[in-house]
Amino acid sequence: MKDGANMRKIIHVDMDAFFASVEQRENPQYRGKPIVVGGDPYGRGVVATCSYEARQFGIHSAMPAKRAHQLCPQAIFVRPRMKLYKEISLELMDIFYFYTNLVEPLSVDEAYLDVTDNKKNMKSATLIAKEMKSVIHRRLRLTASAGVSYNKFIAKLASGYQKPDGLTVVTPAQAMAFIDRMPVRKFAGIGQVTEKQLKDLGIHKGVELREWSLQQLVELLGKRGEILYHQIRGEDNRQVNPKRVRKSIGKETTLNEDIGVRSEMIPILEELAQQVATYLQDKQLVARVLVLKMKFHDFKQITRRLTLPTPIHTSSQIMKYILFMLERMNLEGKQVRLLGMSVANLTDNEPHIKQLSLFEEEDEMMHTQIEDRDV
């Protein structure tokens, strides 16, 4: 652990129930009421996010909207307005850049900031975080929670510690005690399955996780175990990266009715491909991996992953390989309730990347292997 003049000052800012809070801001009649942003409660959509009033009923992100309605029949369901959320996100990022150029956005409502050297020459990261929260509230009429510490891992833990509208500062002297009492589910990369696995071994909090050796954690969790070994000791050397590129981008849709005919799937997949391609072109990225996802009426899910012979960035390129995968899937007797696709291994779109001719592409595709995964 570093100390003294070399100590970095990191702030992690996370907006509070962002989509739902925006809807409450735009519609005063929604304030103080359970708001669910997502799909149709009488259909097959899912919850994108919900207000804190709705969370009191057990509603959470990714829950089927129908289940959310059962838990809270009086909840107000609204459809997401991504264009509006993105516009507000740009205003949020402008506030961040007023303090530092070292801003690493993680999503439309979340970012890391390195304010060790900042534009306002403020010595205290805590005072910067307080001022920033005040500016966000005044300009956007929304609340944010912030965590302040000497590395990214602890700053992110801290931002979620006192939500909503919280500010938590963790100094080097406080770090071990703070990590010790943190439930393991709060650590990045630990989902429900891993959490259960750890609890079965008697590991519930950071203090218990620290008792395990590096070798034990690697054997248990692989690469994630090595990262955790250092993080629970307060060690995280990752820099705030203003040029951070998303590792993947995906779009999916739950269908109003099950479909079992390929020809009916194609227009839906074309629309998803256009959305993915628009993102790639806006960010001037290309993708080298393509994933097709399907969920059936019995909720069984399959994915087909294709490592591409040449990078892609247009909807027509995406659809060419989607059709390639679709034609090789056995869908006889199966009814599809969800379609999705994603691209991964994203890199900058380099003008010199060789574009294959039609015949070269067909030859490459003949030797391309599809990776199957059934869940």
Burial of 367 (0-12, 13-18, 19+ CB in 10 A): exposed
Q: E strands of the chain, at which residues?
A: 10-15, 35-38, 47-50, 76-78, 103-107, 110-114, 144-149, 167-169, 248-259, 285-296, 301-312, 336-348, 370-374
**Positions at the binding site for Mg(2+):** 14, 109
State how far the Cα of 100 lies from the Cα of 118, in Å rounded to an integer.
5
Name the active-site residue from 23, 53, 104, 110.
110
Question: From edge to edge, which strands make up the β-sheet containing 248-259?
Answer: 248-259, 336-348, 285-296, 301-312, 370-374
Reference 19, options 184, 142, 127, 169; nearest CA is 142
Among this protein's residues, is 208 annotated catalytic? no
**Positions at the binding site:** 14, 109
CB 286 within 8 A of CB 280: yes
Q: What angle do CA 314, 347, 254 make, to 5 degrees?
A: 55
Neighbours of 317 (CB within 10 A): 21
Neighbours of 189 (CB within 10 A): 12
Count of H helices and E strands in the chain? 14, 13
Reference 144, options 155, 132, 153; nearest CA is 132
Say which amino acid occupies 358. Answer: L
- Active-site positions read 110
